[in-house]
């Protein structure tokens, strides 16, 4: 696996654009996600109103975040669960390690969780001699391939089914080497059989959370395979890891947001499984964990409160923004170099790992606005990417040639007479360079343009020159 | 008494001024035919968007501020570009948000600024143009016009009023062409991939002419089509609506092409 990091964005892009297998996989975004989302929302006339409602719920929660988090904690405890407040990734990893030690765990089952990717939990746990098994099929596949996810809800979207079959043959020993693994169904069945053995041996089950419900102290996960709920019900100990902003006040609020979540994500009305966990197994319960822990992770979120980036904390990780982003669609998730790709990552990653590390990401956008158009939580993603550019510019992180270029241009553009003279000359020079062909194939200092396309030549005179001539002809010079 | 004509200040845009004056003259013609009195303040340069989108708000304000007074006396400000009109309408209020002394004037400018084609249809109630054009065209919805100003049906409505003109839609008319201002030179490879996808879509429509409402996008797509040796002709929609296609060869096209 090649290590891609955010500062290497351009190199990553170069590779991704030449990776035919990846390009073929990215071609599936349209039918796999975009068309389905469109069909789902066309069937729900109140979708736009639901988006407003979802946004308002989260805004209200963020304005009162301390209150709802404390209420959540109180209710988890009242149900016999434990809450761990963690400031950063290291604290969260240590808490998980301690829970595993205290419960004598040998094996850990994982439900799909982006937060566990954010804190690089698997590597850490494996170093503690724990056996970690991902139970989400996509996560399981990339675990076998030793890769990071390339999408927040379809982590293995870059992998083709033939490659999955190869990984299975390699890892699942003791099976008929000539078995058919051509059909997705066959792959799913085999994964399920292998996982079943792990489910029954599991000590600790770690999941993420799509929502934390303050009024009931409940964590909620939304899945399509159902392995997430097996992870949390069959394990002796359930640990839910969630970032602070996952809290919502009430069950009703969670239900409202659920109505936009699956539609925006996969075009389903609801995901196949929506699982609510409230405390450990109670007397008389047929199943459920003996212990229930929630890790509340900050890891940079509280720094976003009260800033121009607060709106980003409304994100419900539906992935609509990346499914519709032409840049993500061109380069895939790994190019972004860290856990969160696409537009949401371009806003969130600089907040979490620093704009000096992730500065390329908010720049690599045309501001086409498609992400904001589809975001169910109405997060103004392009505007926030621009705010990151402002921070970069203030910190002098943008390349000096670029800064110089902008300043020089602004100098001319704020001096109308000089500007008229200079653009007049430039138009003529460029028109001359084109020599009547209407275009220039190679232009000094504009390699970024002419490496990819011809440079259309100007007509020759500027509009203002021609307009002045025309007005002079009318005897009406301004 | 006949009501006096609305006074329109044309915001030419820096790209049209320097690269494609014909678009400016097409805009003037369309506005005059729609009953406007058109004027062009000669001290205008650019809306400041390149600096604004680069995070350099100080430079953006420096370039943008003079426009506020320059266009104060017109009834409307019209630009043959969704991107530049969007900058003035949607982003000037943000850009000057910290300056309460400016707020009212900036808002007034924002309120009266429009993209050309939507101004013709929505404000001047134009529903047909007397142009002639023979053949199949396709239309790319430039992002800012589409998403910030909701320009979608307006150009189609006027194009459809031209006898002999047929619109063959792109399979993804609303997908960005990869221009993105400075993006196309900062991330040329991604931009190149995006515009390549776009030109494939254009070619598959079978249209002879590609139209759009923003010169930046048009130069990007025209440059790519030219590089590919395509003979699709590229023009700003205003040139066709104003029946001024004889005034200049297509963008990136030769004289007489
Ligand atoms: S930013 Fe919006 S569209 Fe993107 S993942 Fe978050 S909620 Fe979904």
pLDDT, one tens digit per residue, over B8-59 is 999 999 999 999 999 999 999 999 999 999 999 999 999 999 999 999 999 9
Q: Is the pLDDT of residue B242 over 70?
A: yes
Is the beta carbon of A262 within 6 A of some atom in ligand 1? no
B101 DSSP 8-state letter: H
pTM here is: 0.95
How confident is the prediction for chain A on average, in pLDDT? 93
Secondary structure (3-state) at A286: coil
Q: Distance from first CA to last CA of chain A, Å, rounded?
A: 66
B4 DSSP 8-state letter: P
Counts for chain B of helices (H) and strands (E), in that order? 15, 8
CB neighbour class for B255 (10 Å; exposed up to 12, middle 13-18, buried from 19): exposed
Looking at residue A2, its pLDDT comes to 41
Average pLDDT, integer, range A413-427: 92
How many pairs of residues across A and B have Cβ atoms under 8 Å apart?
A: 223
| Residue that the structure tokens 């956008």 belong to | A365
Interchain contact, B46 vs A413, CB within 8 Å: yes
Q: Is the pLDDT of residue A475 over 60?
A: no
Closest CA–CA distance from residue A420 to any residue of chain B (Å): 8
Percent of chain A with pLDDT over 90: 83
Residue in B57, B143, B253 closest to A369 by CB: B143
* A381 CA from centroid of ligand 1 (Å): 9
Percent of chain B with pLDDT over 70: 98
Q: Domains of chain B (ranges plus CATH)?
A: 7-122 (3.40.50), 128-241 (3.40.50.11810)
CB neighbour class for A46 (10 Å; exposed up to 12, middle 13-18, buried from 19): exposed
Q: What is the ipTM of this complex?
A: 0.96
Least reliable range by pLDDT among A295-309, A433-447, B72-86: A433-447
pLDDT, one tens digit per residue, over B196-232 is 999 999 999 999 999 999 999 999 999 999 999 999 9
Q: Is the pLDDT of residue A478 over 50?
A: no
Residue nearest to atom 4 of ligand 1 (CA): A321
Average pLDDT, integer, range A174-185: 92
How confident is the prediction for chain B on average, in pLDDT? 96
CA-A371 nearest atom, ligand 1: 3
Counts for chain A of helices (H) and strands (E), in that order? 26, 12
Is the beta carbon of A320 within 6 A of some atom in ligand 1? yes
* A402 CA from centroid of ligand 1 (Å): 30
Residue A195 CB coordination number (10 Å): 21
Looking at residue A446, its pLDDT comes to 79
Percent of chain A with pLDDT over 70: 98
Q: Who contacts B136 (Cβ-Cβ below 8 Å, separation ≥6)? A: B166, B167, B168, B205, B206, B207, B208, B209
Is the beta carbon of A154 within 6 A of some atom in ligand 1? no
Q: Is the pLDDT of residue B4 over 90?
A: no
pLDDT, one tens digit per residue, over B147-177 is 999 999 999 999 999 999 999 999 999 999 9
Surface of B (159-178) touching A: CB under 8 A: 174-176, 178
Which residues are registered as beta bridge partners of A203? none
The answer to whether A342 and A363 are in contact (CB under 8 A) is no
Is the beta carbon of A315 within 6 A of some atom in ligand 1? yes
Interchain contact, A454 vs B252, CB within 8 Å: yes
Interchain contact, A464 vs B42, CB within 8 Å: yes
* A325 CA from centroid of ligand 1 (Å): 11
pLDDT band at A225 (very low <50, low <70, confident <90, very high): confident
Average pLDDT, integer, range A412-438: 91
- Residue ranges of the domains in chain A? 6-11+30-297, 414-476
User: Does B230 contact A at CB distance below 8 Å?
Assistant: no
Which residues are registered as beta bridge partners of B135? B165
Q: Is the pLDDT of residue B67 over 80?
A: yes
| Residue that the structure tokens 């029946």 belong to | B243
Interchain contact, B223 vs A454, CB within 8 Å: yes
Query: What CA dihedral angle connects A419, B45, B185 and B203, to 10 degrees?
Result: -120
Q: Round to whole Å and give the CA distance between B254 and A262.
A: 51
Q: Round to whole Å and give the CA distance between A451 and A449.
A: 6
Residue nearest to atom 2 of ligand 1 (CA): A375
Who wins on pLDDT, B150 or A233?
A: B150
The answer to whether B212 and B236 are in contact (CB under 8 A) is yes
Q: For residue A413, list chain B residues with Cβ-Cβ distance below 8 A.
A: 14, 45-46, 48, 63
Q: Round to whole Å and give the CA distance between B218 and B211.
A: 8
User: Does B79 contact A at CB distance below 8 Å?
Assistant: no
Average pLDDT, integer, range A117-139: 94
Q: Is the pLDDT of residue A4 over 70?
A: no
Which residues are registered as beta bridge partners of A240? A207, A294
Closest CA–CA distance from residue A82 to any residue of chain B (Å): 44
Closest CA–CA distance from residue A335 to any residue of chain B (Å): 11
Average pLDDT, integer, range B100-110: 94
Looking at residue A373, its pLDDT comes to 98
Task: Select the residue from B17, B49, B81 to test the A interface by mutation, using most A Cβ atoms within 10 A.
Answer: B17
pLDDT band at B255 (very low <50, low <70, confident <90, very high): low
Interchain contact, B56 vs A406, CB within 8 Å: yes
Phi and psi at residue B121, in whole multiples of 5°? -80, -45
pLDDT, one tens digit per residue, over A362-413 is 999 999 999 999 999 999 999 999 999 999 998 888 788 888 889 998 999 9
Q: Is the pLDDT of residue A194 over 60?
A: yes
CA-A265 nearest atom, ligand 1: 8
Which residues are registered as beta bridge partners of B79? B115
Could you tell me which CATH number the domain at A6-11+30-297 has? 3.40.50.10420
Closest to A137 in 3D by CA, of A158, A154, A120, A117: A154
The answer to whether B109 and B65 are in contact (CB under 8 A) is no
Test site for ligand 1: of A245, A264, A383, most ligand atoms within 8 A of the Cβ: A264
Residue in A364, A427, A463 closest to B190 by CB: A364
Surface of A (5-24) touching B: CB under 8 A: 10, 13-14, 17
For B153, the enclosing helix (H) or strand (E) is helix B153-160
């Amino acid at each position: 696996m090649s290590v891609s990091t955010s500062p290497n964005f351009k190199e990553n892009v170069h590779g991704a654009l030449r990776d035919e297998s990846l390009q073929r996989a990215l071609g599936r975004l349209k039918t796999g996600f975009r068309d389905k989302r469109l069909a789902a929302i066309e069937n729900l006339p109140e979708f736009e109103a639901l988006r407003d409602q979802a946004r308002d719920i989260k805004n209200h929660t963020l304005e009162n975040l301390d209150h709802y988090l404390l209420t959540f904690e109180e209710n988890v405890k009242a149900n016999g669960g434990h809450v761990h407040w963690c400031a950063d990734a290291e604290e969260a990893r240590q808490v998980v390690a301690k829970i595993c030690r205290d419960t004598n765990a040998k094996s850990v089952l994982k439900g799909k969780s982006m937060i566990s990717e954010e804190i690089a939990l698997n590597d850490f746990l494996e170093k503690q001699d724990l056996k970690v098994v991902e139970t989400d099929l996509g996560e399981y596949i990339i675990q076998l391939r030793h890769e990071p996810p390339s999408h927040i809800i379809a982590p293995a979207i870059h992998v083709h089914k033939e490659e999955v079959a190869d990984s299975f043959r390699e890892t699942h020993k003791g099976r008929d080497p000539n078995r058919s693994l051509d059909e997705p169904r066959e792959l799913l069945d085999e994964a399920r059989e292998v996982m079943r053995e792990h489910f029954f041996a599991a000590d600790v089950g770690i999941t993420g959370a799509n929502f934390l419900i303050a009024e009931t102290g409940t964590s909620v996960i939304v899945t399509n395979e159902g392995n997430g709920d097996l992870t949390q019900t069959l394990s002796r100990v359930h640990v839910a890891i969630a970032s602070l902003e996952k809290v919502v006040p009430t069950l009703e609020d969670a239900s409202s947001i659920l109505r936009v979540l699956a539609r925006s994500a996969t075009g389903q009305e609801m995901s196949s499984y929506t699982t609510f966990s409230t405390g450990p197994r109670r007397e008389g319960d047929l199943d459920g964990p003996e212990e229930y822990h929630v890790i509340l992770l900050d890891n940079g979120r509280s720094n976003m409160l009260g800033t121009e980036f607060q709106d980003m904390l409304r994100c419900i990780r539906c992935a609509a923004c990346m499914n519709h982003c032409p840049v993500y669609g061109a380069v895939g998730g790994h190019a972004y170099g860290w856990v969160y790709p696409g537009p949401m990552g371009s806003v969130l990653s600089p907040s979490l790992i620093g704009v000096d590390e992730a500065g390329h990401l908010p720049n690599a956008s045309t501001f086409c606005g498609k992400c904001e158009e589809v975001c169910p939580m109405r997060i103004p993603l392009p505007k926030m990417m621009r705010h990151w550019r402002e921070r970069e510019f203030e910190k002098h992180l943008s390349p000096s040639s670029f800064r110089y270029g902008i300043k020089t241009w602004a100098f001319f553009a704020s001096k109308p007479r000089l500007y008229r003279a200079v653009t007049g000359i430039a138009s003529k020079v460029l028109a001359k360079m084109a020599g009547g062909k209407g275009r220039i194939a190679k232009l000094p200092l504009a390699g970024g343009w002419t490496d990819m396309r011809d440079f259309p030549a100007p007509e020759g005179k500027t509009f203002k020159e021609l307009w002045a001539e025309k007005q002079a002809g009318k005897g009406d010079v301004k | 008494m006949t009501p006096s004509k609305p006074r329109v200040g044309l915001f030419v845009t820096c790209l049209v001024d320097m690269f494609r004056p014909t678009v400016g003259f097409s805009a003037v013609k369309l506005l005059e035919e729609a009953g406007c009195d058109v004027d062009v303040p000669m001290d205008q340069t650019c809306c400041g968007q390149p600096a604004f989108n680069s995070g350099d708000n100080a430079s953006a304000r420096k370039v943008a501020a003079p426009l506020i007074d320059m266009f104060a006396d017109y009834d409307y400000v019209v630009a043959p570009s969704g991107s530049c009109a969007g900058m003035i309408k949607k982003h000037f209020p943000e850009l000057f948000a910290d300056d309460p002394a400016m707020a009212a004037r900036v808002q007034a400018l924002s309120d009266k600024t429009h993209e050309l084609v939507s101004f013709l249809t929505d404000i001047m109630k134009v529903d047909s143009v007397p142009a002639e054009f023979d053949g199949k065209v396709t239309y790319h919805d430039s992002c800012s016009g589409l998403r910030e100003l909701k320009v979608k049906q307006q150009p189609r409505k006027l194009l459809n009023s031209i006898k002999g003109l047929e619109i063959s839609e792109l399979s993804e008319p609303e997908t960005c062409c990869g221009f993105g201002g400075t993006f196309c030179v900062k991330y040329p490879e991604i931009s190149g991939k995006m515009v390549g996808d776009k030109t494939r879509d254009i070619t598959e429509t079978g249209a002879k002419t590609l139209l759009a409402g923003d010169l930046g996008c048009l130069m990007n797509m025209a440059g790519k089509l030219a590089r590919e040796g395509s003979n699709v002709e590229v023009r700003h929609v205003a040139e066709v609506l104003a029946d001024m296609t004889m005034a200049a060869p297509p963008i990136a096209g030769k004289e007489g092409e």
